[in-house]
Amino acid sequence: MKRATTTADPEMDLNLVALFAKVVETGSFTAAGLARGLPKSSVSRANARLEERLGVRLLTRTTRKLSLTTAGTSYLQGIREPLAQLGLVSGCVAESGQIPRGLVRITIPPELDEPGFAPFLASFLQRYPEVHVEVIVTNRRVDLVAENVDLALRAGKLEDSSLISRRLLQTQMGLFATPRYLDKRGKPKRLADLKEHACVIFRGVGGRIIWQLVGPRGTEAVEVKGPVNVDDLGVARSLALCHVGIGLFPTMAVSSMVSQGRLVRVLPAYSMSGGWLQIVSASLRHMPLRVSLLRDHLVKSAGEFVPKA
C-alpha cells in the first residue's frame, strides 16, 4: 500500500467517503450495502479504493467483525462533521419551499419532563402544525440509530463518540434534603457541618466522597460520608426523598420536588457547576428539515424550559 500523503486529494470521490462512513455506522459491508442498494463486494471494493487513495488502512477485518484502525478512527473523526453538514445543507435545499411535516422522535430525561417543557413544545407545534413530535421520557441511554430516534437531550459526558452534540447550557448543582431529615438532624450552617450529617453518596468510594463547592469564600472542599453509595442519580434522589440524608443534585433534577416542598435547599449560598446539557443526534446521516427545526428551537429556548430549583 502506498505511503500516506499529507496533502488532500482534490479528486477524492465523496461517494467513497460516504460509503466508508456508512460501513462504520452499520458495522459491516453487508449492512452498508443493503442501506445503499449495493452488493457487499461493491462496498468492499469501494473501501479498498478509498484506502488506496489515502495510502493507509482504515479497517481491519476478522471473521466476526470490522474494526477501525488508528488511522481509520482519526479519518472518521475528521469527516463526520463535514458529511453531516453536507447532508443538512442538501436536505435543506431539497426541502426548501416545502412545509415542514412528518414525525420527529426525541428522548429526554425524566427531570426535564417538567411544566416548562410542555409550553416549549406547544410553541413549536403551533408554529409547525404539520410536524408530529414523539417524546420518549426515560433515563435509559437510547440507541438513536437502532431505535430510529432523531434527537436526544442528555446531560454529562457522552459515552458514544460517534454522536454529534451541541451544548445548550451547563447544569448547576446544589445541596438538598427533606424537611423531615433537617428537623431531625438540624440544618448545617457551614460547609464543614456536613461532616456531621448523613449524606447520599453518588459514585463515591467506601461510603465517602469529597464535595467541592463554590461559596462566599470561593471554592471549598468537604469530605462527607453516608450510609449508602449509588451510581444512579435517580436512585440517589429517591433515597434523599426517603429522608436518608443530604444529597448533591443538579437543580433541574429536583426542581419539582422543591416546588412541592418535598426537598429544600441546604446551604443555598453553595453550588457547583455540573455537566453540560446537550442536544444529540446520530451522525453520518441526513437530518430532515423538521428535525433541524426542532433542534434549533431547543438551542434557542433551552434557558426557558430547563427547570431551576
Over residues 37-68, the pLDDT tens digits come to 889 899 999 999 999 999 999 998 776 778 89
Q: Which range scores top for mean pLDDT: 95-104, 106-115, 173-182?
A: 173-182
Average pLDDT estimate for 190-194: 96
- Return the amino acid letter for 216: P
- d(Cα 179, Cα 225) in Å, to the nearest integer? 20
Could you tell me the pTM of the whole model? Answer: 0.60
98, pLDDT greater than 80: no
Q: Which range scores top for mean pLDDT: 143-152, 187-196, 280-289?
A: 187-196
pLDDT score for 33 = 87
114, pLDDT greater than 70: no
Output 256 or 95, whichever has higher pLDDT.
256
Q: Which of 84-88, 97-101, 223-227 has the lowest mean pLDDT?
A: 84-88
- Mean pLDDT, the chain, whole residue set: 85
6, pLDDT greater than 80: no
* Per-residue pLDDT band at 2 (split at 50, 70, 90): very low
pLDDT score for 63 = 64
Output 155 or 285, whichever has higher pLDDT.
155
Output 297 or 1, whichever has higher pLDDT.
297
pLDDT score for 3 = 39
Average pLDDT estimate for 18-25: 87
